[in-house]
Structure 1
């Protein structure tokens, strides 16, 4: 990863705000909270003694001082990248390959952002990405076929080490234009007349969700069964109905405001575990370690964006 000097971090935050004109969008790009970006900008303005942004109803606009700093930072980043390239050549990072696997739920947003980051900072590194089911990725890790893997609900195995993990809740996914989107609490009874998009056995979440429906003896009057998350998301965007999915399946659209996510906190519906795994005896290359560090940052971002559990209701059919 790039060298994380304090000034380097501030420059990333400042440039993101300057380019987007929006604190929330800048925070998403930098994988941190909105409050952290705002705090860095205010601190810089205080220390420099001059405002860098105009606060407008439509967003943030650079002042003259902000425009000067923006231009200087772009030049500084370009020069600093050349310095880093020289450091990498000394460290032997001028070439390399990262061979890794991940589940399909991570391929649309999670994987893209990580690869684009590496392409920008380390254009000489090659990647071999395998998008497969969790069990197959775990096998490839244990057989030393790949450097590491991102899998769901890893089974305890002698030849599989969990380097980092987060718990991802399941919950109701509701389009923002849906009649239930404004409800602070949802009971199964509230959804009786709604169309339900049901994940079938081909999807990891099926077993838990199906058992939960049976536990509450709930049979929706209108349903559509589907084995593809992408199609379910497309239908949700069109306000076709509601679904119970994991936060991981839909978090880009939760962050963008397209969907509402209400976690379900019940013993019968435990969260999923997303784990970054390696083989215990495998020697991980420096470039693979750097990629793992970036992915852990992204996992931490997802963890902190999950709605607080205390706002979730215990949902039942009563």
Structure 2
């Protein structure tokens, strides 16, 4: 019961909303609100400030959040240890990752992994590049899969693969016949750009800005899934890694073209864990399996480029 109350509290703190938290933990809003009020009564202090746009932690709430996060982490470690006593890996593993990894890589990984370790389950959350590191350092997740461009010192890179930004076009697009392209060549066509993407901004925003007089941005969006059908229909040029497009690359529906002269062409995607946190047995197994699967996924991408 104690663990359940702490889970409820952590989710409300994370979302800043009773309603949003109730959807995540599958508990009625009225019941969840009562649990939070009961916890506040037991501790004798308000844990949240209540505003019209949501809830914010009080100073006391921040102290309780640190305790709750650490307690739940120890609870998961205990579950994992008890499972190993019975001769099987068990527990819950929290992963945070880039949106593109949730398109094909992680669904394939989860299906394969679950067949070998059915007692391990997952909580997977996509986030922006900067938020991924925050979630990992604050203890909201166990493993991150993201770009390795400058991680905080308290995080360890376990394994990584090369994953540069590419120009993505339909197979019948005029640029598809080339081996590589320049941003100037891409700018002759309509562009399909990502908004609110820190990595793309750091890599090509300045270069794109220099071409401001000639570029034609057809669509700019913070939802990359919206851009995929536009790429496939030949509407323009997008800038992505190949992470979320392997299926289309293998089917020959799109081409991924190296961008000549682009900064950070050696960019990597890697698996990151907290350096000072003891990983549960379940998390360690997942990290090892993810490392292997990421290498294999990268090899499949390289095989497409070698055709």
TM-score normalised per structure 1? 0.61
Correspondence 1:74-85 to 2 at 5 A: none
Establish whether residue 140 from structure 1 lines up as the match of residue 135 from structure 2. Answer: yes
Q: Is the 8 A contact 1:195 1:222 kept in 2?
A: yes
Cα deviation 1:129-165 (Å, max 9, x = unaligned)? 2222232222232233322111223534232111112
C-alpha distance in 2, partners of 1:188/1:241?
13
Q: Which secondary structure state, in structure 2, belongs to the residue aligned with residue 180 of structure 1?
A: helix
Q: Is the 8 A contact 1:97 1:125 kept in 2?
A: yes
C-alpha distance in 2, partners of 1:197/1:118?
35
- The counterpart of 2:218, out of the listed 223, 228, 250, is 223
C-alpha distance in 1, partners of 2:260/2:165?
8
Establish whether residue 166 from structure 1 lines up as the match of residue 131 from structure 2. Answer: no
Q: Is the 8 A contact 2:182 2:260 kept in 1?
A: no
Tell me the residue number matched to 1:78: none
Cα deviation 1:211-265 (Å, max 9, x = unaligned)? 2223566632463222211111121112211222223343332223211111124
Between 217-226 and 248-257, the greater mean CA deviation after superposition: 217-226
C-alpha distance in 1, partners of 2:150/2:167?
26
Establish whether residue 239 from structure 1 lines up as the match of residue 228 from structure 2. Answer: no
Q: Is the 8 A contact 1:203 1:227 kept in 2?
A: no
Tell me the residue number matched to 1:43: none
Distance 1:150 1:118, change over 3 A: same
Tell me the residue number matched to 1:275: 270
Tell me the residue number matched to 2:289: 294
Cα deviation 1:180-221 (Å, max 9, x = unaligned)? 322334345544542221222345313312222235666324
Equivalenced residue count is 223
Q: Is the 8 A contact 1:247 1:261 kept in 2?
A: yes
Tell me the residue number matched to 1:100: 95
CA positional deviation for 1:107: 0.5
Tell me the residue number matched to 1:11: none
Q: Which secondary structure state, in structure 2, belongs to the residue aligned with residue 100 of structure 1?
A: strand
C-alpha distance in 1, partners of 2:201/2:262?
16
Structure 1 residue runs of 5 or longer lacking an equivalent are 1-87, 312-318
Q: Which secondary structure state, in structure 2, belongs to the residue aligned with residue 283 of structure 1?
A: coil
Distance 1:306 1:112, change over 3 A: closer
Q: Is the 8 A contact 2:173 2:234 kept in 1?
A: yes
- The counterpart of 2:195, out of the listed 195, 200, 203, is 200
TM-score normalised per structure 2? 0.63
Structure 2 residue runs of 5 or longer lacking an equivalent are 1-82
